[in-house]
Structure 1
Amino acid sequence: MSNVIVSFRAYLDCHLMVTNPLDYVEPLGKAGASGFTFHVEVSRDNWGELVQRIKSKGMRPGVSLKPGTPIEEVYPLVEGENPVEMVLVMTVEPGFGGQKFMPETMDKVRALRKKYPSLDIEVDGGLGPSTIDMAASAGANCIVAGSSVFGAPDSAQVISLLRKSVEEVQKNN
């Protein structure tokens, strides 16, 4: 009898809505996080240091913004000397799952895609079979889905549908 060891590398995307994200860079880096996304609303005083520390721990920096935050607030982080590599547009108010998707947030996704054609743009909140096409068509290429996947009778089917929608839009653009 032989032992077979199977290994794989999953991308662990950590999105933190905390008042001092600098406190979490070291522990998440040690834990093996792949990406570290912080909120633009709480990090204005130390963006540069935060992005540098995230990168120094081998993680990919991202910045998130809530539905009411103007999109222009993330531009300095995307265009800076040491830029973030992803912008996460919250499509619900952060804090709890199961909220309804806010279609008006797609204007932010469209503005980001137009201004930064190669930027990774992630959307989070209310994403599922009925909203994925809207998000993908607006320019989102990274999707966070919670309730629509974990509450589905067939999670794999929902994941496949979400992935297919994003891939179709990317293929046609």
Structure 2
Amino acid sequence: MPKLKIAASLLAGEFINLERDVKEIEKAGIDLIHLDVMDGHYVPEITFGRQIISTVMKLTKLPIDIHLAVTNIDHTINGFMQLHPRCIFIHPETSYMPIRLLENIAQAEVLPGIAVNPTYPIDSAKNLLEYYGGVCDVLFMSVEPGYGGQPIMHKRLQIAKNLRPFVRGSMWIDGGINPNWAIEAKKNGVDGVVSGTYVFNDVQPMKLNVDSLRGESLSWRTP
């Protein structure tokens, strides 16, 4: 069985020490870096923009995923596609034409993805994926986007399992992840987890945190 993939969310890092955090992520054996772009409208927080993402991409050869938690996505996405990350996740409800937007991302030779909030109807996600028909990753939000460190919503894993047959790419789960939930997520068809708070906690070395999420360490401690 393939190992659970781990994406480190830089939202939980120290913005003033991005280079240090990126190098630590590389040493810890993490698979890719996850960047949450928040505009202060779709969610209350404001985080990364294109310039910061471009800087991060120059610091590492690890794949980069961009999660666009923004309004007016149809007017702002082109600049992010030009950065050529591995994947761009969009919230379908923020676009007037989400299918066309996914197609445009794919035409830019970037993997398209959708982010599914707890409040987004699961049937709408299924219909969107079925209608699009192409390879598309899914970022399954187990908590409301905008803040790190929230506890996971228990029922979300069962919903993720029901969505999995409609996903033609990889399914990721984001929010409240710890080793117990990472194991349960994998059992429910999830291919990878996005973790910030747990990965970056300094109770133990980052490598041990990552190994714990993959089930390769028998002991783990919460921050």
Distance 1:103 1:144 in 2: 16
| Residue in structure 2 matched with residue 141 of structure 1 by the alignment | 191
| Residue in structure 1 matched with residue 88 of structure 2 by the alignment | 36
Distance 2:167 2:70 in 1: 29
Distance 1:82 1:158 in 2: 36
Distance 1:22 1:163 in 2: 36
Q: Indicate if the aligned counterparts of 2:171 and 2:192 stay in contact, CA closer than 8 A.
A: yes
Q: Secondary structure at the match of 1:96?
A: coil
Amino acid of the structure 2 residue aligned with 1:20:
N
2:177 aligned residue (116, 124, 127) = 127
Q: Indicate if the aligned counterparts of 2:142 and 2:175 stay in contact, CA closer than 8 A.
A: yes
Of the structure 1 ranges 140-149 and 24-33, higher mean CA displacement relative to structure 2 is found in 24-33
| Residue in structure 1 matched with residue 25 of structure 2 by the alignment | none
Percent of pairs identical after alignment?
Answer: 28
**Cα RMSD for the two superposed structures:** 2.1
Change (3 A) 1:117 1:68: closer
TM-score (norm 2): 0.64
Of the structure 1 ranges 146-155 and 90-99, higher mean CA displacement relative to structure 2 is found in 146-155
Aligned pair count reads 157
TM-score (norm 1): 0.81
Amino acid of the structure 2 residue aligned with 1:133:
I
Deviation at 1:74, TM superposition (A): 1.1
Change (3 A) 1:118 1:161: farther
Deviation at 1:58, TM superposition (A): 1.4
Deviations 1:116-141 (A, max 9, x none): 37541110000112321121111111
Q: Secondary structure at the match of 2:146?
A: coil
What are the equivalent positions in structure 2 for 1:6-155 lying under 5 Å apart?
9-43=61-95, 45-83=96-134, 85-113=136-164, 115-116=165-166, 119-152=169-202, 153-155=204-206
Could you list the structure 1 runs, at least 4 aligned residues long, displaced by more than 6 angstroms after superposition. Answer: none
Q: Secondary structure at the match of 2:105?
A: helix
Q: Secondary structure at the match of 2:180?
A: coil
